[in-house]
Amino acid sequence: MKVSKAFEVFTKGATEYNKAWMEVVQKLDKANTNKLDEKTRDLAYLAVLATTRLESGISF
């Protein structure tokens, strides 16, 4: 997965904060499981990929 240079610096330079951040992200992911219907989730995923120009994440 491609990340920004700023996030790379954050993960390497502030390891304790990074660990805490990743725990929060994982908890939010678990808390939000299946809150969106499948079509809406897929459209949101495509929107994120399109705005970040990560077309390689779209499987055809």
The pLDDT tens digits of the residues spanning 41-51 come to 889 988 988 88
What pLDDT is attached to residue 19? Answer: 92
What pLDDT is attached to residue 36? Answer: 81
Does residue 19 fall inside a structural domain? yes
pLDDT at residue 58 above 70? Answer: no
Rounded to whole angstroms, how far apart are CA atoms 19 and 15? 6
Does residue 45 fall inside a structural domain? yes
Domain interval for residue 33: 5-53
How do residues 4-37 score in pLDDT, each as one tens digit? 888 888 889 998 998 998 899 888 888 876 678 8
Does residue 60 fall inside a structural domain? no
Q: What angle do CA 42, 44, 50 make, to 5 degrees?
A: 100
Does residue 58 fall inside a structural domain? no
Count how many domains the chain has: 1
What pLDDT is attached to residue 6? Answer: 86
What pLDDT is attached to residue 59? Answer: 65
Token pair in block for residue 45: 């995923």
Does residue 49 fall inside a structural domain? yes
Does residue 59 fall inside a structural domain? no
